[in-house]
């Protein structure tokens, strides 16, 4: 079998050729795309560097696709450019290897590629500013690229503040539906008795106060993408309604007997463990499998500290543009302070910290950040350590729910049973609070 490798780094080119040749492959090694086409008709696989000297590997492959070359492609890169990785996957790449990679990783990628029958579609790439240079985000971008190639329902998981909505928008903006609307339905923000009206719409006279016909989010997203955020908070009794919509891609507006079709791409997000909720009978198993045909997990910021510096630089640029300031960067000690912080609020918290610091600094470099740590944070962590030491190992599986229920009950006592106030203190909606209380009991 013949494999063509294109990389302008001679050392990388030589290493790849040595590894593949040792396994019996016929390897053609090129330092540019010049003369590439003459080797492709008799080749089985193309390994292409994304950034070549004077050209981009993704653009080379895009031109090859336009000429009818359907050879499987593995892209290789030393960088984690979101747009490049997404574009690579969108072009039908079997895999994207991040340098440095091991011989085993290379051989496994080649093995997978040679078993792959590519499904190639036109490129719908778009320049987007997405920040993240870590290997963890590299994997996220690869999955985003896969999501752009099809109409599968996508479930985006991750803690609050990691950027699930940003990932959903990235999928939409790189899909064939990019010219259509991107409509958000934030589930916990809607009173549950109005959820169907908000999603499906209603006709005049459907209920008291329905004075005119109103389109729901499903209709407003026609031709585009409907993003249902925090789907894990949806009460069990409403999950059957959503399941029917997901399965049929059709719905009845409240008060209407006429079924309407929904030409939408569905993307869901949650900060909850839906698999565990399924096991506990709190989330429908059939709905879970329907909405998670492709699952993308966005890791918390504390697990990808290398993303902090580029994120800070990005947020400074945004803040300068919005606030009319001229902040030039961050002092080294201030950046180290961020690197040592746990970021319970993730990227959202980092953005807020940067914006506050930019406002206070206005010119020059940021010298410090007003982190929400200190003695209280240290004592909180110490209390958690004592708790873990006191709990027997066999009781650990139920510890999280017990702590959450205890916290909510104590706050309810302090707030004289005022659920709205407790929800505000916890930074969640009243619907979310009530949903969690039901699930925890």
Highest mean pLDDT among 48-62, 116-130, 254-268: 254-268
Query: Both 191 and 289 in a single domain?
Result: yes
Q: Is residue 90 scored above 80 in pLDDT?
A: no
Which tops the pLDDT comparison, 349 or 122?
A: 349
Q: How far is CA 300 from CA 83, 189, 423, in A?
A: 21, 23, 23
pLDDT beyond 90 at 124? no
**Residue range 219-272, pLDDT digits in tens:** 999 999 999 999 999 999 999 999 999 999 999 999 999 999 999 999 999 999
Q: Are residues 406 and 362 in the same domain?
A: no
User: Residue 324: pLDDT band by 50, 70, 90 thresholds?
Assistant: confident
> Band of the pLDDT at 347, cuts 50, 70, 90?
very high
Instruction: Categorise residue 348: left if φ over 0, alpha if ψ from -120 to 50, beta otherwise.
Output: alpha
The region, left, alpha or beta by phi > 0 then psi within -120 to 50, assigned to residue 346 is left
164 and 290: one domain? yes
Residue with tokens 């290379």: 106
Q: Are residues 159 and 289 in the same domain?
A: yes
Q: Are residues 185 and 266 in the same domain?
A: yes
Tell me the C-alpha distance between 293 and 155, whole Å: 7
CATH number at residue 350: 1.10.8.60
Phi, psi at 182, each rounded to 5°: -115, 105
Residue 139 within a domain: no
Residue 329's H or E segment, with its range, is strand 326-330
The range of the structural domain enclosing residue 237 comes to 150-297
Residue 143 lies in a domain: no
Range 23-41 average pLDDT:
89
In tens, the pLDDT along 379-417 reads 566 567 777 777 777 777 778 888 888 888 888 888 888
Average pLDDT over the chain, rounded to an integer: 86
Higher pLDDT, 275 or 100: 275
pLDDT computed for residue 337 by the predictor: 93
Assigned token pair, 85:
């990785």
Residue that wins the pLDDT comparison between 119 and 359: 359
CATH code, domain with 418: 1.10.10
- 162 with 291, same domain? yes
Residue 209 has what pLDDT? 81
């Amino acid at each position: 079998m013949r494999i063509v490798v294109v990389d302008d780094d001679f050392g990388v080119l030589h290493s790849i050729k040595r590894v593949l040749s040792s396994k019996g492959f016929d390897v053609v090694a090129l330092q540019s795309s010049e003369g590439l086409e003459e080797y492709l008709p008799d080749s089985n696989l193309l390994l292409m560097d994304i950034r070549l000297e004077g050209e981009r590997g993704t653009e080379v492959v895009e031109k090859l696709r336009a000429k009818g070359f359907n050879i499987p492609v593995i892209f290789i890169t030393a960088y984690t450019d979101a747009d490049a990785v997404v574009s690579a996957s969108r072009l039908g790449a079997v895999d994207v290897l991040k340098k440095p990679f091991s011989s085993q990783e290379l051989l496994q990628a080649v093995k997978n590629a040679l078993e792959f029958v590519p499904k190639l579609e036109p490129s719908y790439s778009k320049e987007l500013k997405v920040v993240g240079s870590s290997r963890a985000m590299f994997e996220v971008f690869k999955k985003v690229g896969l999501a752009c190639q099809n109409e599968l329902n996508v479930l985006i998981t991750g803690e609050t503040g990691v950027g699930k909505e940003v990932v959903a928008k990235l999928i939409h903006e790189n899909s064939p539906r990019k010219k259509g609307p991107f409509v958000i339905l934030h589930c916990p923000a809607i009173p549950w008795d109005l959820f169907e009206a908000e999603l499906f719409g209603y006709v005049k006279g459907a209920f008291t106060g329905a004075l005119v016909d109103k389109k729901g989010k499903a209709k407003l997203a026609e031709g585009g993408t409907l993003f249902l955020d925090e789907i894990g908070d949806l009460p069990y009794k409403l999950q059957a309604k959503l399941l029917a919509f997901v399965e049929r891609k059709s719905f009845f507006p409240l008060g209407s007997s006429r079924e309407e079709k929904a030409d939408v791409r569905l993307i869901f997000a949650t900060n909850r463990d839906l698999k565990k909720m399924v096991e506990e009978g709190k989330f429908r198993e059939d709905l879970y499998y329907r909405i998670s045909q492709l699952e993308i997990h966005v890791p918390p910021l504390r697990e990808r500290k290398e993303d902090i510096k580029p994120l800070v630089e990005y947020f400074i640029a945004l803040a300068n543009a919005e606030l009319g300031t001229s902040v030039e960067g961050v002092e080294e000690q201030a950046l180290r302070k961020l690197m040592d912080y746990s970021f319970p609020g993730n990227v959202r918290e980092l953005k807020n910290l940067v914006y506050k610091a930019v406002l206070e600094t206005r010119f020059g470099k940021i010298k410090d950040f007003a982190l929400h740590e200190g003695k209280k944070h240290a004592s909180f962590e110490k209390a958690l350590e004592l708790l873990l030491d006191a709990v027997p190992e066999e009781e650990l599986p139920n510890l999280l729910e017990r702590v959450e229920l205890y916290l909510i009950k104590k706050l309810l006592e302090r707030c004289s049973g005022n659920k709205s106030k407790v929800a505000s203190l916890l930074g969640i909606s009243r619907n979310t609070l009530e949903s969690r209380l039901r699930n925890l009991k």
